[in-house]
């Protein structure tokens, strides 16, 4: 039986979400229609909105449904640029959906550095905001809540204090954090915050953005007046319904026992755990093995029936060197790092089977190197 440990890429759809999607597919009605079927569809959508809002402790009226987390991140960035931000600060470890959206905007882009553990350098941010040029418009800072590769949780609340003191806009990508650690969008000071359905047990192709009173949202996708005029296009009721069901089903954070036991076994064989000195998502393990490239590790594990990834899975199936580890100053490890991530249905046995398979593959790798030497 195979073991799936790539939940940070996408997780299994929860039974509650499957049931919700099926019910929605069996009904008819455009939520913008005023007749009975339309009102029924809207009721389904608004119930889901309330569940997603509760997951991130946000008012339901501030939740905008999007076509995914990437669109949610882009909507925040483009709204900030459209309302006057001419220079963006994004952390060097942001997901590509933030990095690429920032680079594609009309604004200049700067990168907030991180330390060797993958934590944002708030001293740098404080000094940069203190020297802000008024000609660059309102400061915009993007800092993810937890990194998708290392799992390291970022000091977002502390960053929010600095950004607010500079009258700036803080955008938080909470896509990996939601459902794994408590997320309170208002308590951490996020002006905008993005989440995604398929990271918590919903379906792919659905996301959401919540915005606070200090953020001015603009409509990027034009058409009708859906989502209170902020995101045109008929809403994906089945996907949204599943998103809401998954958000409602989220329970306590996963246990770390299986992950930590597996990490200890790999470390004993010479692997290096990235970010282990800092608070991390309980489901995420990023390990590097000098001299053993990530692609070969992923392939060896796949042949053993264990599925993991090398860094982010958003590069069209390509294995590429991790920009996150490079930003952390670990360029020497970037090509040999893999990401192992559990989900809502992962067991300690799954982690143990991963460690068994990795150790067996590592032993073969070490033997081959010895023969060559």
CB atoms within 10 A of CB 333: 20
All structural domains of the chain, each given as residue ranges with its CATH number in brackets, are 3-11+253-372 (3.90.1150.10), 15-249 (3.40.640.10)
Structure-token pair, residue 178: 């939601």
Cα–Cα distance, 227 to 206 (Å, whole number): 14
pLDDT band with cut points at 50, 70 and 90 for residue 319: low
Q: Are 124 and 97 a contacting pair, CB within 8 Å?
A: no
What are the Cα distances from residue 56, in Å, to 77, 186, 190, 263, 333?
20, 8, 11, 30, 34
What rounded mean pLDDT belongs to the chain?
95
Supply the pTM of this predicted model.
0.95
Cα–Cα distance, 135 to 220 (Å, whole number): 24
Interior angle at CA 56, CA 145 and CA 231, nearest 5 = 95
The tens digit of pLDDT for each residue in 249-303 reads: 998 677 899 999 999 999 999 999 999 999 999 999 999 999 999 999 999 999 9
User: What is the DSSP code string of 199-241?
Assistant: GTTS-TT-EEEEE-TT-----SS-SS-TGGGTS-S---HHHHH
pLDDT at 321: 78
The tens digit of pLDDT for each residue in 117-159 reads: 999 999 999 999 999 999 999 999 999 999 999 999 999 999 9
Residue 318: pLDDT above 80? no
| Catalytically active residues, by annotation | 314
Environment class of residue 214 by beta-carbon count within 10 Å: exposed (0-12), middle (13-18) or buried (19+)?
Answer: middle
Q: By three-state DSSP, how is residue 330 classified?
A: coil
How would you classify residue 201: left for phi > 0, otherwise alpha for psi between -120 and 50, otherwise beta? Answer: left
The tens digit of pLDDT for each residue in 220-242 reads: 888 888 888 889 898 999 999 99
pLDDT at 323: 94
- Which H or E run contains 260? helix 257-268
């Amino acid at each position: 039986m195979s073991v799936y440990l790539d939940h940070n890429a996408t997780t299994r759809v929860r039974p509650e979400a499957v049931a919700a999607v099926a019910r929605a597919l069996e009904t008819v009605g455009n939520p913008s229609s005023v007749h009975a079927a339309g009102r029924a569809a809207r009721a389904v959508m608004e119930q889901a909105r309330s569940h997603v809002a509760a997951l991130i402790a946000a008012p339901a009226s501030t939740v905008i449904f999007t076509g995914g987390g990437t669109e949610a991140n882009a909507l925040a960035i483009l709204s900030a640029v459209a309302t006057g931000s001419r220079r963006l600060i994004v952390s060097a470890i942001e997901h590509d959906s933030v990095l690429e959206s920032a680079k594609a905007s009309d604004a200049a882009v700067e990168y907030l550095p991180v330390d060797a553990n993958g934590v944002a350098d708030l001293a740098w941010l404080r000094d940069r905001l203190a020297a802000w040029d008024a000609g660059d418009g309102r400061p915009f800072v993007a800092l993810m809540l937890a990194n998708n590769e290392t799992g390291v949780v970022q000091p977002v609340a502390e960053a929010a204090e600095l950004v607010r003191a500079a009258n700036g806009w803080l955008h938080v990508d909470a896509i990996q954090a939601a459902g794994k650690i408590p997320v309170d969008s208002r308590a951490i000071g996020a002006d905008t915050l993005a989440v995604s359905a398929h990271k918590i047990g919903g379906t792919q192709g659905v996301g959401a953005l919540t915005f606070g009173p200090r953020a001015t949202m603009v409509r990027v996708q034009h058409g009708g007046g859906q989502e209170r005029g902020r995101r045109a296009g008929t809403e994906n009721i089945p996907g949204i319904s599943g998103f809401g069901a998954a958000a409602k089903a989220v329970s306590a954070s996963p246990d770390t026992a299986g992950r930590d036991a597996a990490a200890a076994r790999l470390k004993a064989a010479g692997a290096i755990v990235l970010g282990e000195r800092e608070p991390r998502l309980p489901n995420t393990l990023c390990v590097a093995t000098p001299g053993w490239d990530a692609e070969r590790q992923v392939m060896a594990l796949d042949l053993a029936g264990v599925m993991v990834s090398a860094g982010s899975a958003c590069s069209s199936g390509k294995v590429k060197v991790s920009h996150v580890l490079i930003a952390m100053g670990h360029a020497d490890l970037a090509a040999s790092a893999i990401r192992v991530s559990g989900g809502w249905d992962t067991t300690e046995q799954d982690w143990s089977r991963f460690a068994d398979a990795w150790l067996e593959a590592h032993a073969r790798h070490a033997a081959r190197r010895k023969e060559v030497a």
